[in-house]
A and B are shown apart, each in its own frame.
Chain A
């Protein structure tokens, strides 16, 4: 008995050490965001005198704008993209998962192929297309593709939802059809409510991936007025050449808060979503 207990203890000890190693940079980050420049490189985690002004100064460190502006931009973009994704991906998933139509297998296999397609092959021609349409420096290159079940992660979300929709018993459709329900009615009243867990997973990852879609923002948004938080961070980094690291780290820390809060609130969905679908965070 004693031996088994020791095994438990050592295993937990190993896990605690491991967790601390993983989280240590983040702890250091929190401390560093409160440090003065002179103190920044000290290995001490916590600053001698916390510089709360890093946050207030950092918030206003872009001339003419505050981070409130960049956060509003980012959230506007996020909400538009989320709504577009939800509408398009659930409809398409219902079509593929529920209905039979000619060439369905063919289209589905093309969908699978695009899942593996590296984004780099598409960015140049898409950029050229959107450029010609005058969409550069608007949010349209993000919203319109998501409205068409594409964009960052779009195809993956469709695939995930199809798998889920297939798992819902088809008998439900049959009885609804006898009751005179249209296909849209079946989608709206029966399948969509039952798809909720998958929809939550999709929303979480859609939010995160678009929040972190640095390359996309970099390409299509070029006026400071329309900058997202990520672009604002990069701008401070470039313009100050690391002179105000405390402020920069403070703002970086704030920028991961939305993801962190969502993760804390929806941890269960998160882990299940990754485990069952293979989504990478």
Chain B
């Protein structure tokens, strides 16, 4: 009798405990997803009735929307440049920091700090001032006799400035790399130095393969967040100059909340989701060629 009770009891209790999430998932995730899929086939403006238009939004996007094309281009450029830059910086510093043990927490604090505050509007405001025509960067260039330019007012450099801002925030990726580096058994390095392996060989044949799962994680997370980049483009450049920083999330925001084209914006959102899914699927499909888990090498775990 007691066994029966506890077996019956756990499912009910289980559902009671997960009820907040379950309600939230059904009401605030699953239902809105379906709703937005529906909206994406309509002309919905929040005020008027919803008119079914079939694939019109999607067709328009791919055949007759220069801003869509531009925002896809800018976003891919941004992802392709900022993600690798950030990863390389994070890995480079993590490897150095992994050895310099004394004072590590002070270094870590300094390097992590930009990531801590980086997403805030405050930092966007700071950078828009520093990159101005009379801003800090140009004054610095003046000192060495180089004529500065308007970094964020020049279409050729605006996106680069935002990429630089993003790269500056490599701290959390670095901390994750540091944790990964700590997992690598020390005896691997000892054995290889006995064999006379150089630093570079050790890095390529021990550190990189052993760190590849961490690299994979950082890559996926970096790509997903880079696709959604919004605040700095919205605050610093507003997509300009000449749409050179007109990222996808900004276009989506403007369609939805400036022009109230919620149907069209929903279609944009679904295309974004598909782009992210395809890119992450490509990365994870490629992972079997470059991500090594310890079990592959006959290790424990």
Which A residues are within 8 Å of any B CB, using their own CB? 8, 11-12, 14-16, 18-20, 22-23, 25-26, 28-29, 32, 40-43, 87-88, 91-92, 94-96, 99-102, 104, 107, 110-111, 114, 116-129, 131, 145, 147-150, 154, 158, 177, 183, 187, 208, 211-212, 214-215, 219, 230, 233-234, 237, 242, 245, 248-249, 252-253, 255-256, 259-260, 263, 267, 270-271, 274-276, 278-281
For B7, the closest partner residue in chain A by CB is: A100
Considering the chains assembled together, what is the distance between the CA atoms of A256 and B253 in angstroms?
A: 25
Q: Which of B18, B93, B127, B171 has the most CB of A within 10 A?
A: B18
Against A, the Cβ 8 Å flags (1 = close, 0 = not) of B121-135 are 111011101101011
Against A, the Cβ 8 Å flags (1 = close, 0 = not) of B95-111 are 01101101101111111
Contacts of B235 in A (CB 8 A): 214, 234, 237
Contacts of B46 in A (CB 8 A): 128, 131
Q: Judge whether B188 is part of the interface by a CB distance below 8 angstroms.
A: no
Contacts of B291 in A (CB 8 A): none
If A41-B136, A260-B113 are given as contacts, then 10 extra A-B residue pairs at C-beta distance below 8 Å, sorted by A number, are: A25-B136, A95-B16, A99-B14, A114-B25, A124-B256, A125-B266, A150-B25, A214-B121, A263-B116, A270-B112
Q: Which of A19, A110, A242, A255 has the most CB of B within 10 A?
A: A19
> Does A233 lie within 8 Å of B122, measured CB to CB?
yes
> Does B136 lie within 8 Å of A18, measured CB to CB?
no
Interfacial residues of chain B within 163-222, with CB under 8 A of chain A in the complex: 168, 171-173, 175-176, 178-179, 217, 221
- 18 A-B residue pairs with CB within 8 Å: A32-B129, A42-B139, A88-B20, A88-B24, A111-B21, A118-B276, A125-B36, A148-B28, A150-B25, A211-B120, A212-B121, A215-B253, A249-B125, A256-B117, A267-B109, A274-B172, A278-B221, A281-B115
Considering the chains assembled together, what is the distance between the CA atoms of A43 and B295 in angstroms?
A: 54
Considering the chains assembled together, what is the distance between the CA atoms of A237 and B219 in angstroms?
A: 34
Q: Judge whether B230 is part of the interface by a CB distance below 8 angstroms.
A: yes
